[in-house]
Structure 1
């Protein structure tokens, strides 16, 4: 078990959200082979805050499902702070419905995906995307969720 300090902030009108304990368990799973100790925050927001942050930090003027803000402390400080995740609850709900996934499964995917970004994984290059997707798929399977990248017609 990871020594995890987690701050979950709920700044949304949405009610169908995973509990802090469930979010903690997903992050624990994502960090298990990477860290012994970690601190991070998860802020759950509505579209306006997501859009503002996405525009400010990525130049994209639209809300998005998850944003990851990796802490950039000098290595010599040896602090466990990973960073912050900002997850847009309405976008997660909309995507789950569009992709015919359970809301809980999509939440798990977004939390695991964002946590992997905090660990330094990305999906810009094809090889990196394949590595990250394989890791996500394995982590989600160990949590009891289907492969989030399998098209619906293949999943049945």
Structure 2
């Protein structure tokens, strides 16, 4: 399984199948063998992600997902594909980085956007995996590439394009990456 899961917030339940499916779908779609890569996922609450957001991004507020890439794979040219990650082995998969998901924020956003929590969290995990792989939304060209790639991956899982249902452009802030998909 390409996911190392640490569940701090018990309301997440068994997130492993959903996280594994989302990470594998993203890696497979981009031509990377999921068994040769690993992603660490922290399933936490708003208080924990707020502390992480303050510590790493100097933003004292909760957010939906944060990402910490192991490697800088980003392209220097806006809209260009990032560098591919080096693969590990099945015995020692290459770590791509870490992500943290906040339970309350994810649930509230799903309700506000009229989505199932499962579809919304799947989207956030895919979004975060793309950050770990060097995708970003700093420039309009990068945001377009990232959004199109997310929509393609979600379609392979039978999930509708989340950007087609948002009112106006999403506020997508990057850093040690924070998504805030669909937030004002």
- TM-score, length-scaled by structure 2: 0.73
Residues 54 and 61 in structure 1, CA contact (< 8 A), matched pair in contact too = yes
Larger RCO: 1 or 2 (CA < 8 Å, sep 6+): 2
What is the CA distance between 1:7 and its match in structure 2?
Answer: 1.0
Matches of residues 102-121 of structure 1 in structure 2 within 5 Å? 102-121=116-135
C-alpha contact 1:18 1:107 (8 A) present in aligned 2: no
**Structure 2 unmatched ranges of 5 or more:** 73-84, 168-184
1:58 pairs with 2:20: no
Count of equivalent residues? 148
Go from structure 1 to structure 2 and tell me whether the alpha carbon gap of 1:13 and 1:19 turns closer, same or farther (over 3 Å shift).
closer
Query: Which of residues 5, 21, 26 is equivalent to 1:8?
Result: 5
Structure 1 residues 72-87: aligned runs within 5 Å = 72=71, 80-87=94-101
Residue by residue over 1:84-141, the C-alpha shift from the partner in whole angstroms, topping out at 9 and shown as x without a partner, is 0100011100000111111111011011000100000001110000000000001001
Q: Deviations over 1:52-90 (max 9, x none)?
A: 1111111111011000011149x99x7711010100011
For structure 1, list consecutive stretches of 5 or more residues without a partner in the other structure: none
**Higher helix fraction (1 or 2):** 1
Instruction: Detail structure 1 runs of 4+ shifted over 3 Å in the superposition.
Output: none
Counterpart Cα distance in 2 of 1:129 and 1:71? 21
* 1:24 and 2:20 aligned: yes
Q: 2:109 aligns with which of 83, 95, 98?
A: 95
**Distance in 1 between residues matched to 2:14 and 2:146, nearest whole Å:** 23
- The change in CA–CA distance for 1:120 and 1:34 in structure 2 (over 3 A counts) is farther
Aligned residues: CA RMSD: 2.3
**Cα contact 2:2–2:24 (8 A) shared by 1:** no
C-alpha separation in 2, matches of 1:53 and 1:11 = 14
The answer to which structure has the higher strand fraction is: 1
Seen in structure 2, the aligned counterparts of structure 1 residues 52 and 19 have a Cα distance that, compared at 3 Å, is closer
